[in-house]
Amino acid sequence: MVTDVIAQAMPTDAAPFGAYAPSPFVRSALSLTGKLPDTWAGRRCAFFLRNLVLRSLAGAPLDIEALGARMRIKPYNNISEKKVLFTPQFFDAEELAILRSAITEDFVFLDVGANAGFYALHAAAHAGPRARILAIEPQPEIFERLVWNIGVNRFGTVKAIACALADRAGEVTLFLDPSNIGEASIKIVGSANAPTLRVPARTMLDVIRDERFDHVDAIKLDVQGAEDLILEPFLAMAPQSLWPRLLILENSESRWQTDLHALLKRYGFREIARTRLNAVYTHG
């Protein structure tokens, strides 16, 4: 059964925000890594300081404010959490700026493959009280982190949904990467020997209809190569009124069975940006 968690829910972690505040050394290191330039030397320095900080933490989480929101970060087996903690200036900066520029008074945003909530929380921090933001994440351990981060912020506009999106409703196999648990996918991750679990699945159109949205302003779709399984049937079946004005799409061309870039252009989407990891499209 799909679990929906409303933003007003209390965090499940008993320790309140601030219980894992950075030490003076960690705070200084994070201040430095967060200012480094996007150069070879800057990244090497960040990597060196990151290792020192992780050794000093000895497995403990950290409570920080980043991307406009409070977060409890566990930077050990999730690359995205490491990026947000140590080098937030490198974390999808162009994509997030475009997302902010699309925010309206009644902003509707789907963060598909939400991880620990970085896009969803960033949007909530800049949107008003009439926004409706869905953070969709199928990996149970990551979903717990997502829920905690939503609850500790109290924006009141973010809802977490524990499911995968796919081309049909039911149950699917989720492939896991133990070294990067934020990279789970309904397509094989790494090798056929990757650990798996069964999770509920819904279609994107079903989710939008269940939420009674009459429009969608933006979608971020980052599902490790399964973007085609979600997007192609959605565009074929959804009325144009529910197509997103802004689409941030993980560029996983090598794993797609459909050329999504060509498909989006046929449906009238226009590419406005291409970064190392993502392509950004607008429609209308």
73-124 pLDDT, tens digit per residue, is 999 999 999 999 999 999 999 999 999 999 999 999 999 999 999 999 999 9
Fold of 3-7+91-282: Rossmann fold (3.40.50)
Q: Is 133 exposed, middle or buried (0-12, 13-18, 19+ CB in 10 A)?
A: buried
> What is the CB neighbour count within 10 angstroms for residue 14?
6
pLDDT at residue 192 in the model: 62
Which stretches of the chain are assigned E, i.e. beta strand? 3-6, 62-66, 69-73, 108-112, 132-136, 158-162, 164-165, 170-175, 196-202, 218-221, 246-250, 270-274, 278-282
pLDDT at residue 13 in the model: 67
Name the H helices within 173-249: 204-210, 227-237
3-state secondary structure of 7: coil
DSSP tag of 181: G
pLDDT along the chain (284 residues), means of 10: 41 81 97 94 95 95 97 94 95 97 96 98 97 97 96 96 96 91 81 83 98 97 95 97 98 92 97 96 95
pLDDT at residue 6 in the model: 41
170 phi/psi in degrees, rounded to 5: 145, -130
pLDDT at residue 267 in the model: 97
94-105 pLDDT, tens digit per residue, is 999 999 999 999
What does the angle CA 272 – CA 273 – CA 274 come to, to the nearest 5 degrees?
A: 140
Residue ranges, CATH 3.40.50.150, the chain: 3-7+91-282
DSSP tag of 185: B
